[in-house]
Amino acid sequence: MTSRIRVKGERPYDVVVGAGVLSELPGLLGDDVRTVAVVHPASLPEISRPVCGALESAGYSIVGLPVPDGERAKSVEVAAELWSAFGRYGVTRSDAVVGVGGGATTDLAGFVAATWLRGIKVVQVPTTLLGMVDAAVGGKTGINTPEGKNLVGAFHPPAGVLCDLATLVSVPREDYVAGLAEIIKGGFIADPTILLLIEDDPEGARVPDGRHTRALIERKIQVKADVVGADLRESGMREILNYGHTLAHAIERVENYNMRHGEAVAIGMVYAAELSRLSGHAGMGVVDRTRSILTSVGLPTAYRHEAWPELRDHMRVDKKNRGAKQRFVILDDIGKVTRLEDPAEELLEAAYREIAR
C-alpha cells in the first residue's frame, strides 16, 4: 500500500510512503531532465543501486556521486566537490539532483541543488527513519561550519519525496531509534496521538515492523507537512519544529558532530521541557512524560554537567536568536507551543542543572 501526504506551498509536492515508490521517480523528474546527479553515501552502494536502476530504465543519463557517510558529508569541502562534479558533467538548469540516504545526505543534496546555477530540481529519497519523517521533507537544506550546525543553507523544496519503507530494514538500530526523537517531537508539539502510540508499544516503536510504525511515520510527516506548507521560510510557525534543537545543536557541536542528531534532540527536548516548567509555562506532567517516553524507547535524557559553559557559548549562534536576544521554543502544554524570549541566565542554567549528570 502506498500513501501520499501533500505538502502545500508555492510549489506543492507529495511525500509518498510505501513499497515500490521508486517507480514514481521518472514522473517527478519529467521529460526535460537529461542528466540526474545521484548523491549517496559512498559506504552504502546498495541503497543507491535501485535508484540508479529506476533512472537507467527510464533513459536518464546518471552521474553517481558518492559522498562521505553521515554528518561528514555536510561540509563546504564536500559541497564544493559536488559543485565541481556538476560543472565537469555539464549539469544544466533543466537537469536534476536525487538525494539518496539519511538526513545528512539529503541535507547536502538539497543544498547543492539549491545553490547550483541558483537552484535546480531535487527529488529526495530518504532511507532512514529520521530522513523520512523530518529531514527530507520541507525544503530546509544545509551544511555545518566549524562554528555550528546547519549555519549555511537555503530553503529549497523538493519536487517530491519517496520513502521506500523496505530500506529501513538495514538501518542500524541506534540510527533508527534516533529517528524516533523527531517523531516524539511531533507528538509534543502537535499530535499527541503519536505519544499514545509509542506508549502503547515502546518496543515496537524501536523496529521497522512494529505494530504502529506506519502510523507513526505518516503522522509525523503530516505534522511536518502542515507546518512547512504554511511557513516554508520559518517566518513564524515553522519555529515549532525546532523544539529541543537549541541545546541539541550545541551538544552536536561540542561532540564534533559525532553524536546522532536524534539523540541530541532527545536531550534537548528534556531541556526545553524543563525550561517550559521553570519559566512557569508547562507543568511537571509534561517534563515527566518527556523523560519517560524517551527512556522507554532507549533515547538519552541527560548530558555532562561540566559541559554547560561550552554549550551556552554555542547556543548563542542559534538561528532563532535575534541580536543578543536568545529565543527558545517551549511548551505551555502538549500541543501548545510558545516562545521564551531573552530568558535570564539563571533560568537557563537552572534548567540545565535538571538534565545534567
Ligand X SMILES: NC(=O)c1ccc[n+]([C@@H]2O[C@H](COP(=O)([O-])OP(=O)(O)OC[C@H]3O[C@@H](n4cnc5c(N)ncnc54)[C@H](O)[C@@H]3O)[C@@H](O)[C@H]2O)c1
Binding mask 90-109 for ligand X (x = CB under 6 A): -----------xxxxx-x--
Residue type, 137: V
**242 contacts which partner out of ligand X, ligand LNCXM5UN, none, CB within 5 to 8 A by kind?**
ligand LNCXM5UN
**Burial status of residue 354 (CB atoms within 10 A of its CB: 0-12, 13-18, 19 or more):** middle
134 binds ligand LNCXM5UN (CB under 6 A): yes
Taken in order 241, 247, 250, 252, is the CA torsion positive or negative? negative
Write out the catalytic residue numbers. Answer: 118, 140, 182, 224, 234, 238, 242, 245, 249, 261
* CB-closest chain residue to ligand LNCXM5UN: 150
The distance of closest approach from Cβ of residue 174 to ligand X in the complex, given in angstroms and rounded to an integer, is 9
Q: Return the number of the residue (238 or 291) whose C-beta is nearest ligand LNCXM5UN.
A: 238
182 binds ligand LNCXM5UN (CB under 6 A): yes
245 binds ligand LNCXM5UN (CB under 6 A): yes
Taken in order 327, 146, 68, 91, is the CA torsion positive or negative? positive
Piece of the chain touching ligand X by CB under 6 A; list 60-68, 177-185, 281-289, 312-320 = 177-185
The distance of closest approach from Cβ of residue 284 to ligand X in the complex, given in angstroms and rounded to an integer, is 28
170 binds ligand X (CB under 6 A): yes
150 binds ligand LNCXM5UN (CB under 6 A): yes
